[in-house]
């Protein structure tokens, strides 16, 4: 059984142009296929984003986005543009869902004919447009659509004109649960709702999220009536129907239910203790024709049981640091199963593809063989403290040179380079220290590549361009440590070339542009920079002790607040501003920024406002705003009970003032089209 390295695995499909291939889509829009144990690039480009395959015709179509124009096209196997998809579905084919034989088309659009956030259907030439109904689509049939309205916390069914046939209000008011794909069985829709309990604890560096409980529910697809409900003590990451049985896994084992009645038919005890933490992704289960695979991510293993006797057959222990996630798909040609793995001790290549052969469960689990690689620091002009980073990669396969070349050049650039946005990230997270002789130049020498020389040079040039684009990202923007005679440092730059063993060391060392000749920050849209800072905070990487970092964060937030941006972006900018004042320990300024963000509909800021203000000091403005959020279906994690308690304790006159003010806020929100939203 084999584990494949990937730059960042994003999506897999076996419904591509060739049935014998398994198609892999990597982050940054790369497209590859896995065939006979080798990963080959089908799309390697700087300006194309190969999104995925879609079944909007009698043949698979590849959705490709031009990174420059942001326009998408559907491509046939022969590379021709497919234009048979009607408007407006051809503008967002990735968001289009279809019924069998394409008799009913559904698409979600952010804008259509001047309307914001709409659902659109097309059947027999008739177009229907309504305000957005579904956050998630479960299923499209020839006459109806099933899905989840996350904002209103309803599962609903509509007809082809988007008129509601039935709606089921969810018991648990969770923003993270109920986002699973529903299962359908004998006119029954089965879905997990939850979590029943959510707690969030935030420190300066980490966010600890705990999810407990929920329920599996079964709804009649004709009426929307509840058929049965099965309470779960754990949050479910996945569940599966197989041969008339419903399987799900929790830390204590696997449960098998009757999908028609919800009756527990069998419990397979795992014998595992209750975990210390309860993240959303802890356990999963997968069933094939012979075995039950129970995944417990905390221990990095799968437990394999006989499907009929329920006896444990073997334990598949993954290599150290590999964290197993759910099953992705099965290749029907080979019968092999594919699973997603993570390694959180890495940053660049932290996702793997695990190939499991059910016909040989006792085979060892091994990583694919990496090409031989040598790393050295080469002094420039005899200066011992001014060195190029030289990477020599030996492989006969061009595709391996591209895949492993991208992984190792970016990984070592992050380790040895300097970054303003994430200083010392590799030291703090991975205890990997930089070599401060690094001057910013990376020279990749590919040896022994057996392909057409012009193709090799073309692809290596694309790799260098892709590195430059990657290094313009706000999280990277890496520079060398070593300075030249004028005291300038250089932007990390990749030069790649194919050489023979006799030519090793001959790749010309071209010095990149000095930092002082470059803009002080990468030229990326300010809204992207804003979200990068907020992502830092979500990931526990917001630097509270780097004055340059904080100053740039404040500048970005002010630019958005004073610019012509959407209400959501402005609210997010005020939230970033509040993070700045938190780092500067300016409590009053922080509360003002949080208030502004909350008034824009920023739920994260609303929750922080509640936490930042002592319970006894919750004033009418804050309570009225909280009431508006609640009326729109948004609740406030584990502080929601305090909000409800505080409202209940108010006397009649105060409660009337709160209600009146809440109505005023709601009217203002309606006029400005504001709604609650989450940053993360």
**CA distance linking residue 385 with residue 269, whole number of Å:** 60
pLDDT score, position 513: 43
Residue with the bigger pLDDT between 68 and 497: it is 497
**What is the per-residue pLDDT for 473?**
66
Among 71-80, 123-132, 405-414, which stretch is predicted with the lowest mean pLDDT?
71-80
Higher pLDDT, 521 or 228: 228
Q: Cβ(131)–Cβ(118) under 8 Å? A: yes
pLDDT band at 203 (very low <50, low <70, confident <90, very high): very low
Question: Measured in whole angstroms, how far is the alpha carbon of residue 43 from the centre of its chain?
Answer: 22
Q: What is the per-residue DSSP string for 540-557? A: T---SS-HHHHHHHHHHH
Please state the separation of Cα 167 from the chain's center in Å.
29
Question: Using CA atoms, how far apart are residues 610 and 592, in angstroms rounded to an integer?
Answer: 12
pLDDT over 50 (residue 176):
no
Determine what percent of the chain is predicted with pLDDT higher than 90. 35
Distance CA 17, CA 389 (A): 40
Mean pLDDT in residue range 365-384 = 92
Residue 577: the pLDDT is 93
What is the CA angle 423-425-427, rounded to 5? 110
- Average the pLDDT over each of 452-461, 545-554, 661-670 and give the range with the smallest value: 545-554
150 in Cβ contact with 178 (< 8 Å) = yes
Q: What is the mean pLDDT of residues 344-353?
A: 84
Mean pLDDT over 262-268 rounds to 96
Tell me the pLDDT of the chain averaged across its residues: 83
Token couple for 290: 């012979």
Say which residue, 538 or 484, is predicted with more confidence.
538
485-488-489-491 Cα dihedral, nearest 10 degrees: -120
- Using the predicted structure, report yes or no on whether residue 521 has a pLDDT greater than 60: no
Q: Which of 172-181, 291-300, 449-458, 641-650 has the lowest mean pLDDT?
A: 172-181
SS3 114: coil
Q: Flag whether pLDDT at 373 surpasses 80.
A: yes
Render 480-540 in DSSP notation, one character per residue.
Answer: -S---TTS--BB-EEEEEEE-GGGTT-S------BGGGS-SS----HHHHHHHHHHHHHTT
How far CA 150 is from CA of 153, 156, 532, in Å, comes to 5, 11, 25
- What span, in angstroms and rounded, lies between the C-alpha atoms of 629 and 574? 18
Cα(557)–Cα(543) distance, rounded to whole angstroms?
16
Q: Is the pLDDT of residue 514 over 50?
A: no
Tell which wins on pLDDT, 27 or 366.
Answer: 366
Yes or no: say if 393 and 408 are a contact pair by the CB < 8 Å rule: yes
Residue 457 pLDDT level (bands cut at 50, 70, 90):
very high
Lowest mean per-residue pLDDT among 220-234, 345-359, 475-489, 565-579: 475-489
Calculate helix-pair angle for 398-416, 453-471, nearest 10 degrees: 30
Q: Is the pLDDT of residue 508 over 60?
A: no
Distance of CA 475 to the CA centre of its chain: 16
First to last CA, the chain: 36
- pLDDT grade for 277, boundaries at 50, 70 and 90: low
Q: What is the per-residue pLDDT across 108-120, written as a single tens digit (0 to 9) for each?
A: 887 788 887 888 8
Q: Which residues contact 159 (CB under 8 A, 6 or more apart)?
A: 143, 144, 145, 165
pLDDT band, residue 496 (cuts 50/70/90): very high
Listed in sequence order, the residues at least 6 apart from 66 whose beta carbon sits closer than 8 Å to its beta carbon are 47, 48, 49, 72, 73
Region 184-207 average pLDDT? 73
Provide the 8-state DSSP code for 277.
-
Measured CA to CA, the distance from residue 676 to residue 655 in angstroms comes to 23
Confidence of residue 486 (pLDDT cuts 50, 70, 90): low
Phi, then psi, of 51 in degrees rounded to 5: -85, -65
Summarised one tens digit per residue, pLDDT across range 135-166 is: 888 899 989 999 988 766 789 999 999 999 99
- Give the dihedral sign, CA 219/222/224/226: negative
| pLDDT score recorded for residue 268 | 95
Instruction: Determine the pLDDT at residue 424.
Output: 66
pLDDT at 280: 63
Positions of E strands within 243-382: 245-250, 253-257, 264-269, 283-287, 291-296, 301-306, 312-317, 323-330, 337-342, 351-356, 366-367, 372-380
For residues 430-436, average pLDDT: 85
- As a dihedral over the C-alpha atoms of residue 117, residue 119, residue 122, residue 126, rounded to 10 degrees, the angle is -80
Cα 311-316-322 angle, rounded to 5 deg: 145
Whole-angstrom distance, CA of residue 130 vs CA of residue 609: 35
């Amino acid at each position: 059984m084999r584990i494949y390295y990937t730059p960042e695995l994003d999506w897999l499909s076996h419904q591509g142009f060739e049935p014998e291939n398994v198609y892999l889509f990597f982050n940054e829009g790369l497209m590859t296929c896995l065939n006979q144990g080798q990963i080959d690039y089908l799309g390697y480009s700087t300006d194309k984003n190969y999104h995925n395959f879609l079944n909007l015709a009698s043949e698979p179509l590849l959705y490709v986005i031009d990174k420059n124009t942001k326009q998408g096209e559907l491509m046939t196997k022969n590379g021709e543009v497919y234009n048979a998809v009607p408007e407006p579905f051809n503008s967002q084919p990735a968001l289009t869902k279809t019924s069998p034989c394409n008799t009913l088309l559904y698409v979600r659009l952010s804008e259509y004919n001047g309307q914001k956030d709409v659902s659109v259907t097309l059947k027999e030439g008739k177009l229907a447009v309504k305000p957005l109904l579904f956050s998630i689509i479960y299923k499209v049939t020839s006459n109806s659509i099933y899905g989840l309205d996350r904002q209103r916390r309803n599962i609903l069914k509509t007809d082809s004109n988007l008129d509601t046939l039935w709606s089921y209000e969810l018991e648990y008011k969770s923003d993270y649960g109920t986002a699973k794909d529903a299962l359908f069985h004998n006119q029954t829709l089965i879905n997990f709702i939850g979590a029943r309990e959510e707690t969030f604890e935030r420190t300066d560096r980490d966010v600890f999220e705990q999810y407990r409980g929920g329920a599996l529910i079964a709804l009649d697809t004709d009426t929307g009536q509840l058929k049965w409900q099965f309470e779960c003590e754990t949050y479910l990451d996945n569940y599966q129907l197989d041969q008339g049985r419903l399987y799900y896994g929790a830390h204590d084992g696997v449960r098998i239910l009757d999908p028609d009645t919800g009756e527990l038919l069998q419990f397979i005890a795992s014998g595992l203790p209750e975990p210390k933490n309860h993240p959303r992704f802890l356990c999963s289960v997968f069933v094939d024709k012979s075995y039950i695979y129970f995944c417990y991510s905390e221990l990095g293993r799968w437990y394999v049981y006989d499907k009929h006797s329920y006896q444990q057959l073997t334990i598949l222990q993954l290599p150290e640091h590999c964290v197993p996630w759910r099953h992705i798909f099965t290749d029907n040609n080979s019968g092999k199963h594919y699973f997603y793995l993570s390694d959180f001790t890495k940053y660049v290549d932290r996702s793997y593809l695990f190939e499991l052969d059910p016909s040989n469960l006792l085979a060892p689990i091994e990583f694919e063989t990496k090409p031989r690689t040598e790393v050295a620091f080469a002094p420039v002009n005899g200066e011992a403290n001014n060195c190029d980073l030289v990477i020599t990669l030996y492989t006969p396969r061009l595709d391996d040179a591209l895949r492993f070349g991208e992984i190792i050049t970016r990984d070592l650039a992050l380790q040895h380079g300097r970054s303003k946005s994430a200083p010392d990230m590799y030291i703090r997270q991975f205890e990997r220290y930089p070599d401060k002789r690094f001057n910013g130049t990376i020279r990749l020498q590919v040896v022994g590549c057996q392909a057409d020389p012009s193709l090799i040079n073309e692809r290596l040039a694309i790799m260098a361009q892709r590195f430059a684009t990657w290094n313009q990202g706000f999280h990277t923007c890496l520079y060398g440590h070593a300075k030249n005679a004028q005291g300038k440092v250089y932007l990390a730059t990749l030069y790649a070339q194919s050489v023979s063993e006799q030519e090793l060391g001959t790749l010309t060392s071209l010095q990149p542009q000095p930092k002082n000749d470059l803009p002080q920050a990468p030229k990326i849209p300010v809204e992207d920079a804003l979200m990068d800072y907020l992502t830092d905070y979500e990931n526990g990487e917001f630097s509270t002790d780097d004055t340059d970092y904080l100053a740039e964060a404040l500048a970005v937030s002010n630019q958005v607040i004073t610019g012509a941006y959407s209400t959501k972006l402005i609210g997010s900018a005020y939230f970033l501003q509040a993070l700045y004042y938190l780092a500067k320990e300016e409590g009053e300024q922080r509360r003002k920024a949080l208030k502004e963000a909350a008034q824009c509909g920023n739920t994260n800021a609303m929750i922080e406002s509640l936490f930042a203000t002592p319970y006894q000091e919750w004033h009418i403005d804050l309570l009225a705003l909280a009431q508006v959020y609640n009326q729109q279906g948004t609740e406030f994690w584990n502080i929601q009970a305090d909000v409800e308690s505080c409202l209940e304790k108010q006397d009649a006159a105060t409660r009337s003032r709160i209600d009146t003010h809440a109505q005023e806020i709601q009217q203002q929100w309606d006029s400005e089209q504001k709604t609650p939203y989450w940053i993360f």
